[in-house]
Structure 1
Amino acid sequence: MEFEEVYKKERATRKFTNRKVMERLLTKIVKEAQQSPSLLNSQPWRAYAVTGESLENIKKEFKENIDNKVDPKEDFASMLSLDWDTFPSQNMAVMGASQTYFFSNRINLFAEANAEMFNAPAIIYLTIPKKSPAWSVFDLGIFAQSIMLIAINNGLSVMPAHSLVSYPDIVRKYAGISENESVGMAIAIGYKDNNAEVNDDKFIPDRVPFEKIFKLSK
């Protein structure tokens, strides 16, 4: 695809079909994403693609924790502060209002999709060493964006979701991730279910007015 087309197709997919993603395609996506830049070429990231029985086990145990109201224990918990600055707080307030409109009579659909990990046939978990500077988190974000754009360019849809890393110990068990690594991000990958109401493309969140985020100095 042309880059502009790929970029415009980057949307959160809340439910995938049962169609499997070929292993060689997952490998191709991550390999191409390795070209992402990083501080001093540190390349701190590692990617763990999980499918099949291993993913089903993760989904099952996550669902049990959700049903039993087990508190999340994210590896990035210390970075997930709710003490937001005024500017992003205002943006989230606007977003919250628009979400209320979009999810009118659909909140249960989203909750169900979220609890089932969006029916994703594959999830790529991204880690960095626990002994990492803050810059490595920035690098991991670049790597994640590369993965998503490359996946879209290959005809797939994506869902980066905080909920996918809520219980990192479960992920470690089935993905073979070391205790020395922080499970920081995860991207669900698959083929979009166009018949799912929760995937309504009519809802596109508004962007912050450009003049509020951009300044040119000469």
Structure 2
Amino acid sequence: MNFKEVYEGEHVTRKFNNRKIPEKTIAEIIKKAQQSPSLLNSQPWRAYVLMGDALEQFKQASANNVDQGIKPHEDFASMLSLDWDTFPSSNMATMGASQSFFFRNKLNLFAEANKTMFNAPAIVFLTVPKKSPAWSVFDLGIFAQSIMLLAVNRGLGIMPAHSMVSYPDLVRKYARIPEDESVGMAIALGYIDKNAEVNDPVYIPKRVPFDKIYKVTK
């Protein structure tokens, strides 16, 4: 694929089909993503992949937590408890309204897909050392975007989802992540289920007007 196709083709997948991904493919993607820049070449990221039986056990354990009403306790600050600035808050409000309209009667389908972790055959968990400056989170974001674009280039669907790191204790248990690393985010990988209603159509939220984010001083 050329760069324009990859960049414009990046969007989340709400349900994957049952086709498995060769572990070699994921390893090649992660290895290429290592070329991502980082502060002072610190390369603070690590990637832990869950597949097969280990992934199924993790999914079940996470679903059990949800059913029992156990509150999320992310390593990073809880997304919904953050004190957002007015600008992103207004953007999120618009997103929430448009998403509800878009999904209409598909909200239950999305909730179901989210609980099953989108039927993903592989999930990549990304971490940084707990003893890290804030810049490491910026570096982790660059690394994550590299992984997603490389995955799209290989014909894979992607889903970076906050819900998959809601219970970092379970992530550590099943992905064997040391206690001195913060579980930052997760990216589900797989092949898009083109017959799934929840995937139809592709939903791409509107962008903020360009003049709201772009300023030039000469």
Q: Deviations over 1:181-201 (max 9, x none)?
A: 001110000000011111123
The one-letter code matched in structure 1 to 2:36 is S
Partner in structure 2 of residue 158 of structure 1: 158
Change (3 A) 1:45 1:131: same
Partner in structure 1 of residue 39 of structure 2: 39
Partner in structure 1 of residue 15 of structure 2: 15
The one-letter code matched in structure 2 to 1:210 is F
**CA distance, structure 1, for counterparts of residue 77 and residue 118 of structure 2:** 23
Deviation, structure 1 residue 142? 0.3
**CA distance, structure 2, for counterparts of residue 41 and residue 80 of structure 1:** 32
Change (3 A) 1:7 1:160: same
Question: Number of matched residues?
Answer: 218
Partner SS, residue 48 of structure 1: strand
Partner in structure 2 of residue 141 of structure 1: 141
**CA distance, structure 2, for counterparts of residue 140 and residue 198 of structure 1:** 29
The one-letter code matched in structure 2 to 1:213 is I
Partner in structure 1 of residue 215 of structure 2: 215
Find out whether 1:71 has 2:71 as its counterpart: yes
Deviation, structure 1 residue 93? 1.1
Percent identity (aligned): 69
**CA distance, structure 2, for counterparts of residue 128 and residue 164 of structure 1:** 16
Partner in structure 2 of residue 99 of structure 1: 99
Q: Deviations over 1:96-152 (max 9, x none)?
A: 110110121111100000000000000000000011110000000000000000000
Mark the runs of 5 or more structure 2 residues left unpaired by the alignment.
none
Partner SS, residue 17 of structure 1: coil
Find out whether 1:29 has 2:24 as its counterpart: no
Matches within 5 A, 1:44-55: 44-55=44-55
Tell me how large the CA RMSD over aligned residues is: 1.1
Change (3 A) 1:22 1:145: same
**TM-score between the two structures when normalised by the length of structure 2:** 0.97
**CA distance, structure 2, for counterparts of residue 52 and residue 67 of structure 1:** 23
**CA distance, structure 1, for counterparts of residue 157 and residue 208 of structure 2:** 24
Partner SS, residue 178 of structure 2: coil
Change (3 A) 1:185 1:205: same
**CA distance, structure 1, for counterparts of residue 178 and residue 87 of structure 2:** 37
**CA distance, structure 2, for counterparts of residue 6 and residue 188 of structure 1:** 17
**CA distance, structure 2, for counterparts of residue 30 and residue 7 of structure 1:** 18
Partner in structure 1 of residue 198 of structure 2: 198
**Superposed structure 1 runs of 4+ greater than 4 Å apart:** 78-81
**CA distance, structure 2, for counterparts of residue 27 and residue 94 of structure 1:** 38
The one-letter code matched in structure 1 to 2:55 is L
